[in-house]
């Protein structure tokens, strides 16, 4: 059992770093970069896993940068999210304080929020929310944090604990059959 009783956990926050971005076109600004082939492959795999696990956010908020938008859109479609995805320019190159400000303004009817963004801000924000030290959120890493709060406005230092952490590397050598059956055939081979 965690340091918090599960009954007292009121809100859950999923912090999701965008999938692997494409640096091949030097004419694009950092904001305009899309995903590389591996990013799309990893996104299919992680979103399939999240779909199988039936992760259902009440709200998805994303950076307005193209790579974050693609990540949020694909993830939302794959898990069957029916709501509107809120894209915010403020989440691009922001400080963790900005993430706090955005979350504290959310309606308390939302129990679970997915926030798609960038590093190093997401790693810094994770370390603000938990007592332990989290080293680095990799591309398409997903950290679910249970928050011991009744209202999003109560977000404060060390108010949460990590429920789970997943990343594409976990599926490099072993991919559960349920995920393989949800992926396109060309992605089902492992390296």
98-151 per-position pLDDT tens digit: 999 999 999 999 999 999 999 999 999 999 999 999 999 999 999 999 999 999
Residues 41-74 have pLDDT tens digits of 999 999 999 999 999 999 999 999 999 999 999 9
Whole-number pLDDT of residue 23? 74
The answer to whether 118 and 136 are in contact (CB under 8 A) is no
Whether the predicted pLDDT of 188 surpasses 70:
no
CA distance to 30, 31, 112, 136, 174, per residue, from 10 (Å): 36, 34, 9, 26, 34
The more confidently predicted of residues 157 and 34 is 157
Task: Give this prediction's pTM.
Answer: 0.85
Whether residue 176 has pLDDT greater than 70: no
Nearest of 104, 100, 103 to residue 121 by alpha carbon: 100
Q: Residue 170 has what pLDDT? A: 85
Q: What is the CATH number of domain 7-20+32-165+176-187?
A: 3.40.50.1240
Domain boundaries, the chain: 7-20+32-165+176-187
Average pLDDT of the residues of the chain? 87
Q: How does residue 9 score in pLDDT terms, banded at 50, 70 and 90? A: low
In angstroms, the first-to-last Cα distance of the chain is 37
pLDDT of 39 strictly over 80: yes
Banded model confidence at residue 181, pLDDT cuts 50, 70, 90: low
pLDDT at 7 over 80: no
Amino acid 4: pLDDT: 45
d(CA 191, CA 189): 7
Q: What is the pLDDT of residue 5?
A: 47
């Amino acid at each position: 059992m965690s340091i918090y009783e599960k009954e007292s956990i009121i809100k859950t926050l999923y912090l999701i770093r965008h999938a692997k971005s494409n640096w091949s076109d030097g004419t694009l600004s950092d904001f305009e970069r899309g995903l590389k082939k591996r990013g799309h492959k990893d996104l299919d795999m992680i979103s399939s896993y999240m779909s199988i696990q039936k992760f259902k956010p009440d709200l998805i908020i994303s950076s307005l940068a193209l790579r974050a938008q693609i990540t949020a859109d694909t993830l939302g479609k794959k898990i069957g999210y029916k709501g509107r995805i809120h894209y915010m320019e403020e989440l691009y190159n922001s400080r963790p304080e900005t993430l706090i400000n955005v979350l504290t303004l959310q309606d308390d009817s939302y129990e679970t929020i997915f926030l798609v963004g960038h590093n190093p801000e997401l790693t810094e924000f994770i370390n603000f929310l938990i007592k332990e030290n989290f080293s680095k959120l990799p591309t398409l890493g997903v950290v679910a944090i249970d928050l011991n709060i009744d209202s999003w406005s109560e977000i404060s230092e060390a108010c949460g604990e990590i429920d789970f952490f997943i990343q594409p590397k976990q599926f490099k050598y072993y991919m559960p059959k349920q995920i393989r059956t949800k992926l396109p055939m060309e992605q089902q081979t492992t390296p």
